Amino acid sequence: MLKIDQLTSKGVQNYVQVCTQYCACLEQLAGAEASALYLRLVELLPGLYRGNLRLPKVTLRYVQDPERFVTEKQYKNLLRQLSALTGPRDRFPFINYPHDVERLAMADASVAELLSDIYLEVKDFVSLYGTGTLEDMNDALAENQDTFRQEWGLKVLTVLNILHLYCFGEASSSPAGGYHHEEPSPEGFDASELQGFGTETE
C-alpha cells in the first residue's frame, strides 16, 4: 500500500480535482445547452486521460471489489438526461478496438452512454477516495487505474473524438439523421457558454 504522502501527492490531487469537475459538469445539466456542454467536456476529458497516466502505480489492497457509490437509478437518470441533450447526434459509427487487433470492426456508439460510463467510474473513484482512510484511498486509485486501462480510458478517447467534431464543425447531423462534412464556423463558440459547467462560483 502507498504511503500517505504518495496518496496525497500533487499529481493525485490534481487528478481528483479534474475528476470532481467532470462529475460536477454532468450533475448540472438542468437548462444546459448541448454546444456549451460539448465544449466544456472537450476541455475536461483530456485532463482525465492525462491525469490517470500520471498517477503512481498502486496495488489493490483488499481481495473484494471496492465499494460502489453510483446506483443504477442514478446512472439511468444521467443517461436519460444526456440522451435528451444529444438527440439525433447521440449515436455515431466508430472503429471498435478489441484486445485482438486482428478483429477490428466498425461499431455503433452512443455519446450519452460513453459519458455516463466514464462518470460511473470517476464518481465511484472520488467518492471512495474521499472517505479519507488510507486503505480506501489506496484501493480507489488502484481500481480506477485498472478500469481505465481495461475500459474507460478508450471510452474517453472515443467520445473526445466525436465531441471535437461536434464542437468545431467537422460533423453535423443531416435532416435524415446521418452525418456530412462541413467547413468549421469562423465564429466558433463563445467562451461565456462555459459558465456554470463544472466550475465553482465565488
Q: What is the pLDDT of residue 63?
A: 65
CA dist 56 and 58 (Å) reads 6
pLDDT digits (tens, 9 = 90+) for 13-27: 999 999 999 999 999
pLDDT surpassing 70 at residue 161: yes
Domain presence at residue 8 = yes
Q: What is the pLDDT of residue 62?
A: 74
Mean pLDDT of 19-41: 96
Q: How confident is the model at residue 132 (pLDDT cuts 50, 70, 90)?
A: confident
Domain presence at residue 201 = no
Mean pLDDT of 164-185: 52
pLDDT surpassing 70 at residue 180: no
What's the grid cell of residue 134? 488510507
Mean pLDDT of 46-64: 90
pLDDT surpassing 80 at residue 51: yes
Domain presence at residue 199 = no
Domain that holds residue 92: 4-194
Could you count the other beta carbons within 10 Å of the beta carbon of residue 149? 12
Q: What is the pLDDT of residue 69?
A: 96
Domain presence at residue 182 = yes
Residue 173, φ and ψ in degrees, nearest 5? -80, 135
Domain presence at residue 62 = yes
Mean pLDDT of 148-163: 95
Domain presence at residue 17 = yes
CA angle, residues 146, 149, 153, in degrees to nearest 5: 120
Domain presence at residue 154 = yes
pLDDT digits (tens, 9 = 90+) for 76-112: 999 999 999 999 999 998 776 655 556 666 678 999 9
pTM of the model: 0.80
Domain presence at residue 200 = no
Number of domains within the chain: 1
CATH number for the domain spanning 58: value is: 1.20.120.1550
